[in-house]
Amino acid sequence: EKEINDFYAIWTRLIDFTSKQFCEMTGKKHQKVYEKNKEGIYNFKAEIVMEDNYYLTLRNFLLLNFERLVDDFIASSRVSKANQKILQEWKHYRLKRDKFMIYEEMPFGALAWDTEGENYYYVYDLYDPVYGISVQERMLSMLLLPFKGRIIYDGLIGVTGVELGQNAKEMLLNEYVSLRKRQEVSTTLPFIDKKTKIYQLKISIKGAKPPVWRRVLVEDNMTYRGLHIVIQDIFEWHDAHMHEFEANGRRYTDTDMEFQDDFMDDFAVEDENRFLVSHDLQEVGDKITYTYDFGDDWEHEIKLEAISEKEEGVFYPKCIKGKGRGPLEDIGGIYVHNTIVQAYKEGDQATLNEYYVDEDFDPTAFDPEWINIKLGGGQIS
């Protein structure tokens, strides 16, 4: 119990430091995300955490900028040498997955199966949140971190129900028994390979006149889900509609979104959380397609322009160039967008009023600094 509380003492300080940096970049007032009670236990400040999914946004920002924020935290905070060593370990050993299956609850932890990496981990402090949940029938989203020879999760899990037939349950149980006999349960985490390649992508909205595009740098180990988030940010979409990627005859989307069930029944699609962009973008010139909003049908061409080495001091993803403002949401598609742009160019206020376009709309606007703040790059030095 003491070790787990010591873990959260470090983790919560890192989260609050990240919150402060994030607020400085977005103009929000910083408030600590955690508070310490009379017993010395760290708890969420619920009113902040629940507000606009703030913790989820903060956690994503931390994961996108993990190495840099850890270094900045060490440099700007009073951190003991022992804790510095732990933080440095987190830079090189951590595991973020959206698909863990829990095999068995045990004292002080639970056995988690990483369905992507096909590895099994004994995770401390996981017993409490999954207490009472039927094992072998839940998928969890977790960030695992090493701590004093143990694996501990970061305190936030997403639970997805999984319906399994009796035969599947028996198969998993037999596999678990065999696994325990062979003692193939990991207590360490995989080392993060630092030989990450950087992809230079040109992402263009098809049919836009004049052209609307962005040039971005991303790591080659980015998932399709990560690329979806990047595209939403660089074109200032609101992520309010369904989407999909298409590459080499395969489709990828967020298979966990309930409102996509009908769509999923009609098309064979893969889970975008489980596939890396490098699965389909391997050589310069390779292309994939991204479609957002199946009503307006905003199609994006994504082209791999260059592959380079990762540079120290450069933070990814990063937008390095672009042209034009992203189209307005829910206006009817590319034809209407082009009509609005032409009306703006000609000063045709009647047409702009017809489509309820705000007075401050400027189709030529492109602010890479603001885009990089949204991507997590910002102006942190």
Task: State residue 198's pLDDT score.
Answer: 93
The upper half-sphere exposure of residue 377, i.e. CA atoms within 13 Å in the direction of its Cβ, equals 20
Q: Quick check: 269 and 261 in contact, CB under 8 A?
A: no
CA distance 212 to 205: 6
CA distance 109 to 267: 39
Threshold 0.85, pTM exceeds: no
- Output 299-304 pairs: Cβ under 8 A, ≥24 positions apart: 299/205, 299/206, 299/207, 299/334, 300/203, 300/204, 300/205, 300/206, 300/231, 301/203, 301/204, 301/206, 302/201, 302/202, 302/203, 302/227, 303/201, 303/202, 303/203, 303/204, 304/199, 304/200, 304/201
Identify the bridge partners of residue 318 per DSSP, sorted by sequence position.
217
* Cis before 211 (ω within 30): no
CA distance 251 to 275: 11
CA distance 71 to 67: 6
Task: State residue 163's pLDDT score.
Answer: 64
Task: State residue 157's pLDDT score.
Answer: 65
CA distance 327 to 336: 9
Closest to 151 in 3D by CA, of 108, 183, 116: 108
Task: State residue 103's pLDDT score.
Answer: 73
Q: Quick check: 276 and 221 in contact, CB under 8 A?
A: yes
Task: State residue 329's pLDDT score.
Answer: 93
Task: State residue 381's pLDDT score.
Answer: 27
Going residue by residue through the chain, which has 381 residues, state the pLDDT in tens, using 9 for 90 and above. Answer: 788 888 888 998 999 999 888 887 777 788 888 777 887 777 777 777 767 677 777 887 888 778 888 988 999 888 999 999 999 999 889 998 877 877 776 777 888 888 777 788 888 887 665 544 444 456 777 889 999 888 998 876 666 666 666 676 677 667 767 776 666 778 788 887 667 789 999 999 999 999 999 999 998 878 888 899 899 999 999 989 999 999 988 999 987 654 444 444 445 688 887 788 988 999 999 999 999 999 999 999 999 999 999 887 777 899 999 999 999 999 999 999 999 999 999 999 999 999 999 888 899 999 998 888 778 654 332
Tokens 């207590």, residue located: 187
Dmax (CA) for the chain in angstroms is 76
Question: Element (H or E) spanning 145, and its range?
Answer: strand 138-147
What one-character DSSP code corresponds to residue 131? Answer: T
CA 62 to chain centre: 10
DSSP per-residue letters across 90-129 = HHHB-EEEEEEEEEEEETTEEEEEETTTTEEEEEET-TTT
Task: State residue 138's pLDDT score.
Answer: 63
Identify the bridge partners of residue 106 per DSSP, sorted by sequence position.
109
Task: State residue 336's pLDDT score.
Answer: 95
3-class SS shares of the chain: helix, strand, coil, % to 5: 35, 25, 40
Q: Are strands 270-271 and 250-253 parallel, antiparallel or unpaired?
A: parallel
CA distance 199 to 197: 7
- 309 three-state secondary structure: strand
Burial 219-248 (b: 16+ CB within 10 A, else e): bbebbbbbbbbbbbbbbbbeeebbbbbbbe
Task: State residue 156's pLDDT score.
Answer: 66
CA distance 339 to 36: 56
Task: State residue 207's pLDDT score.
Answer: 97
